[in-house]
């Protein structure tokens, strides 16, 4: 099993007329220079949501704290969560406001701190490299065929990939000036009936 990406996000999104599949590493989405600060209450109630203000295109919020940790056996989850957390280093928190197309991530181990991944950063392949064709086959099937929005992917077969999956293309846009949550009219249904894959710990309704 490939555990090298266990805390990373396999991100699926569109930019212009192109579709992309990239790795957003744990170091990128928990970069202290991009810490927003305390997680607002409105971001804690759903696995994925998107918000738009003043008719602008939305930004996205992925709450990994709603999922089990990828590759982690159930009995280890509470032990991992109960470890003391270091105070977040919020050097520039006051200046980080999500803009259209940006991604906000709430890490699994710290549900009270949110981090910003600007769109310009996750489309930069020097920082967020493309997912190779062979190793990403199962991830593409989940995202593009099954329409999964957010999941952890603990795999047991030798060729499996252990990571998070986030599929922004499966979300429908919220009404102008509003917000929408996965499981409340924004999560895409699977393109065809199929057996759920990688569903251990998956947020119900986040497909």
What pLDDT score was predicted for residue 72?
60
pLDDT band at residue 160 under the 50/70/90 scheme: low
Residue 77 CA to residue 73 CA, distance in Å, equals 7
Q: Average the pLDDT over each of 12-21, 44-53, 69-78 and give the range with the smallest value.
A: 69-78
| Predicted pLDDT of residue 143 | 87
Are the CB atoms for 106 and 62 separated by under 8 Å? yes
Q: What integer pLDDT is reported at residue 28 of this predicted model?
A: 95
Q: What is the pTM of this model?
A: 0.71
Where is 139: in which H helix or E strand?
Answer: helix 137-140
**pLDDT reported for residue 74:** 45
Residue 77: its pLDDT value, please?
44
Write the secondary structure of 23-36 as one string of H (helix), E (strand) and C (coil).
EECHHHHCCHHHEE
Residue pair 37/90 in contact (Cβ under 8 Å)? The answer is yes
């Amino acid at each position: 099993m490939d555990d090298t990406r266990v805390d990373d996000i396999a991100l699926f999104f569109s930019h212009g007329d192109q579709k992309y599949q990239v790795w957003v590493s744990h170091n990128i989405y928990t970069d202290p220079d991009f810490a927003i600060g305390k997680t607002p209450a409105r971001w804690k109630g759903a696995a994925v949501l998107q918000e738009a203000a003043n008719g602008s295109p939305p930004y996205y919020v992925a709450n990994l704290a709603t999922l089990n940790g990828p590759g982690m056996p159930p009995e280890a989850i509470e032990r991992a969560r109960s470890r003391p957390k270091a105070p977040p280093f919020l050097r520039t928190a006051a200046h980080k406001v999500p803009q259209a197309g940006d991604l906000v991530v709430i890490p699994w181990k710290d549900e009270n701190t949110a981090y910003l991944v600007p769109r310009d950063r996750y489309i930069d392949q020097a920082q967020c490299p493309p997912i190779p064709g062979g190793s990403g086959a199962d991830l593409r099937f989940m995202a593009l065929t099954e329409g999964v929005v957010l999941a952890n992917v603990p795999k047991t077969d030798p060729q499996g990939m252990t990571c998070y999956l986030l599929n922004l293309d499966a979300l429908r846009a919220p009404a102008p000036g509003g917000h929408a949550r996965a499981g409340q009219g924004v999560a895409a249904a699977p393109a065809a009936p199929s057996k759920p894959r990688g569903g251990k710990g998956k947020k119900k309704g986040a497909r």
